Copies of this chain bind each other. A is one copy, B any other.
Amino acid sequence: MNLNDNTAILLIHCPDKPGILAAVTEFINQHKGNILYLDQYVNREDKVFFMRVEWELTNFQIPKEKVEEYFQTLIAARYDMNFRLYFADTKPRMAIFVSKMSHCLYDLLSRYAMGEWHVEIPIIISNHPDMESVAKRFGIEYHYLPITKENKAQQEAKQLEILKNYKINFCVLARYMQILSAEFINHYPDRIINIHHSFLPAFAGAKPYHAAHERGVKIIGATSHYVTSDLDAGPIIEQGVTHISHKDTVDELIRKGRDLEKIVLSHAVEKHIERKILAYQNRTIVFQ
């Protein structure tokens, strides 16, 4: 991983037509960009073309601040493209939302502390005071905003203000036990990542391990997804599963599930940080 190198990343989708791939790669080659990664996919049912390309900027002849404009004019306009351009040296800024459980939080923060990810995590927001000691351990600001039915709208407004002040690009709900309002979610479309402790769409909603135990399934799962206003129904990023048996009590499912949850959430966050995910019509394209 050399994400902090001097590279540009393009995420594209547009109606499928012949010549798109050649046009995009020619645009980069022609101006002396060196393509490092390229992955494309065509949805043939809906006739939509998707692409992620990453290239070195060192000898690229178009100045960094002009790349977006030139690409728009020379290529995107011609093919009716939706695109997003990122520069790998710009670190995205991430906020973590947490309630009382620490396993996902520790997994995220230890990767951050190790320097495994090219990201900034300036703040943790919580509706409980419990995780403040963990935040302190890693030297990260902790904002405690208790939430009741009555003050919810007000507290969400405060949260949004904090996110704005800290220039947060995306949020990670690390077992945050509050349902966000549609209004809140609209500020961060496809930029709030949740971990749900079941193999969605099975066992959406509360107490999925209890429900899994009751149903007698032989495999449990965890699902990371972008949050939409439809509870536990947003675009799925990654899922993980583990085998269980009749011997496992609900407590043991909870324990086994923790390892699934933290790994699945961290993998989703990693792919988001690396700009490898494109959400389209409630599904995700996860590029390689």
Q: Which residues of A are at the interface with B, using a C-beta cutoff of 8 A? A: 1, 18-19, 21-22, 25-26, 29, 34-36, 38, 40-41, 44-45, 102-103, 106-107, 110, 113-114, 116, 134, 137-138, 199-203, 215-219, 221, 235-241, 243, 245-247, 249, 251-252, 255, 259, 263, 266-267, 282-286, 288
Q: A79 CA to B218 CA in the complex, in Å? A: 30
Q: A282 CA to B215 CA in the complex, in Å? A: 8
List chain B residues, Cβ under 8 A from A38.
Answer: 21, 40
Copies of this protein in the assembly total 4
Contact A106:B114 (CB < 8 A) given known A216-B282, A218-B236: yes
CB distance B219 to A1 under 8 Å? Answer: no
List chain B residues, Cβ under 8 A from A236.
Answer: 215-218
Write the chain B residue with the least CB distance to A2.
B251
Contact A239:B255 (CB < 8 A) given known A38-B21, A110-B106: no
Residue from the list B202, B249, B285 in contact with A45, Cβ < 8 A: B249
Write the chain B residue with the least CB distance to A55.
B18
Contact A201:B219 (CB < 8 A) given known A110-B107, A138-B137: no
